[in-house]
Structure 1
Amino acid sequence: MRRNGVPEHPWRSLVALGDSFTEGMDDPGPDGGVRGWADRLAERLDAGTSGFRYANLAVRGKLLHQVIEDQVPRAVSAEPDVVALTAGGNDLIRPSGDPDALAAQLDHAVATLRASGAQVLVGTGFDPRERPVMRRVRGRVGTYNSHVHAIAAHHGCLVLDLWSMPVLQDSRAWSDDRLHLAPEGHRRVALRACEALGVPVDADWREPLPPGREQTWQVQRAGDLHWVRHHLAPWIGRRLQGRSSGDGRRPKRPDLRELVPGSEGR
């Protein structure tokens, strides 16, 4: 059946958990806040069912244990149909990041969420082979992803497989900081999430981006220097000082409620 021309689906509520990726960093919203793949997914789910409700508890900079301690209990209390959980990236890029230990934490969190009756959409990490600096932790991310797939299979969860999205190897899918997705990257991830949830969409996340002009060496070099000065150096500074970009921030959408046009990203 169809609702307002959109195929219907069984999902009536969604709670999104995680860090800057799920908060929606570098995908500007209409009101000056951030939008992101989870908001885009919620908008698509809202179009296919009446009374759909959505909460986004993700906060930039959070480590996996913080997501589990602060966000998972609130998701359980909300009793949604689906919980989207993608976290661990901020742990893996640190020298102390242990994918096996992180997987044990994730397994406990997923078990808790599944015991509440919610379906869980658990996300893998991206393949960072084309990302400066980040490519150094590719082995850790791959190990963690293997655990994510095993945890999902054990608990009967759905997987948002970001590693296997070759379109995200295109630099245009990423913002200037090379750590967060650009709007087009968030759009593609939302389409991938719809596919994982069995929600029909009118676009294909696999479609390659249009051919672009190849950058000259000089342009690429200038971009590298700008990135080091304006993105990498401040990030290292925060790590050395024990600070996080999310310190003092609250979730942008803390309550499970119906979507209101123009309310996303606040």
Structure 2
Amino acid sequence: MEHNVLTEETDPFCLDQADAVALLAGAPWGRYAVVGDSLSAGTGDPTLGYRDQGWSDRVAGVLRSVRPDLDYLNVSENGATTAKTLEKQAARMLEFSPDLLHLPCGANDIVRRRPNFGEIERTLRQMYDLAKGTGALLTTFTLGRAYVVPVFPDWPERIATVNEIVRGLAAEYGALVVDMWDHPINDRDNLLSADGIHFSTSGQAVMAAEMVKKLAESFGTDK
């Protein structure tokens, strides 16, 4: 389709820095934390024409332009399950005392022969309980349909199920959801990295733009 044709400047789903900063002008957050897995980390291969930076660092950069005193903590780790996020990252998250906090959405919880969705929901709920106790505004993504693991024939159903769990918990706990499940970029032939799993930096740029727009909506400055 659009392989290496669009650039960050011409991509209709991207925001340039000035527009992103304008959207978040007056943002109240000064302590931004990100926990979870490679999706939280912004892992992905470079895309020609796009800045080589993950979505979370991009959002932090926008927030820092608005709030130069912003403190930013990203302790996410590639391959982390929700349980591992709780075990290895939660203490640092709590110590940091964020007022804006991004949570993972179970991507690695479903990479097993027979995922137990009841257990996945219980573990995610533990994370939301802990995160809610910080008093921070919570954010998360749903998984995009371009994310495919061919060894599991039921993979689309797995993603749909975990996305519904995430949407339900987010609604219950007042978290903002950036829904990537059916975003138009899922159809781009250069979206995925070489591993066929992670969004390349073109996707990272779009995810950052969607997060900025969602944050802007949350405090009434969406334009």
User: TM-score of the superposition, structure 2-length normalised?
Assistant: 0.78
Deviations 1:196-227 (A, max 9, x none): 2117799xxxxxxxxxxxxxxxxxxxxxxxxx
Distance 1:119 1:35, change over 3 A: same
- TM-superposition CA deviations, 1:25-77 (whole Å, max 9, x none): 2246xxxxx84111111111111223111111011111120011111222121
- Does 2:42 correspond to 1:24? yes
Q: Name the structure 2 match of 1:52.
A: 70
Please report how far the alpha carbon of residue 99 of structure 1 lies from its aligned counterpart in structure 2 after TM superposition: 2.5
Any idea what SS the aligned residue of 2:154 has?
helix
Q: Could you tell me how far apart the structure 2 residues matched to 1:26 and 1:129 are?
A: 12
- Indicate which of 146, 160, 165 corresponds to 1:147: 165
After the TM superposition, list the runs of 4 or more consecutive aligned residues in structure 1 that deviate by more than 6 angstroms: 199-202
Q: Secondary structure at the match of 1:61?
A: coil
Paired residue for 2:15?
Answer: none
**Matching residue's letter, 1:127:** R
1:162 partner letter: M
Counterparts in 2 of 1:130 and 1:65: CA distance versus 1, 3 Å? closer
Query: What amino acid maps onto 2:37 in structure 1?
Result: D
Which of the residues 85, 91, 102 maps onto 1:67? 85
CA distance in 1, matches of 2:40, 2:119: 22
Query: Residue type matched to 2:124 in 1?
Result: L
Identity %: 27
- State the partner residue of 2:190: 172
User: 2:199 corresponds to which letter in structure 1?
Assistant: L
The aligned residue for residue 140 of structure 2 is: 122
Letter in 1 for 2:157: G
Q: List runs of 5+ in structure 1 lacking aligned partners.
A: 29-33, 203-266
The one-letter code of the counterpart of 1:24 is G
Q: Distance in 1 between matches of 2:141 and 2:44?
A: 19
RMSD after superposition: 2.4
Question: Who is 2:175 aligned against?
Answer: 157
Residues 30-45 of structure 1: pairs in structure 2 closer than 5 A:
35-45=53-63
Q: How many residues align?
A: 194
Q: CA–CA distance in 2 between the matches of 1:94 and 1:175? A: 21
SS for the counterpart of 1:122 is strand
Tell me, yes or no, if the aligned pair for 1:27 and 1:186 is still in contact at 8 Å. Answer: no
Q: Find the aligned partners of 1:119 and 1:155 in 2 and give their Cα distance.
A: 10
Query: What stretches of structure 2 of length at least 5 have no aligned partner?
Result: 1-17, 47-51
CA distance in 1, matches of 2:61, 2:173: 27
- CA deviation after TM superposition for structure 1 residue 22, in Å: 2.0
SS of alignment partner, residue 162 of structure 1? coil
Separation in 1, partners of 2:153, 2:56: 25
Distance in 2 between the 1:24 and 1:201 partners?
Answer: 24
Distance in 2 (CA, whole Å) between partners of 1:201 and 1:188 is 17
* In 2, Cα distance between equivalents of 1:166 and 1:92: 24
1:190 matched to 2:193: no
Q: Is the 8 A contact 2:148 2:155 kept in 1?
A: no
Bigger CA radius of gyration: 1
Structure 2: distance between partners of 1:13 and 1:27? 28
Contact 1:18 1:86 in 2 (8 A): yes
**3-state SS of 1:188 partner:** helix
Report the Cα distance in structure 2 between the residues aligned to 1:66 and 1:180, rounded to whole angstroms.
Answer: 19
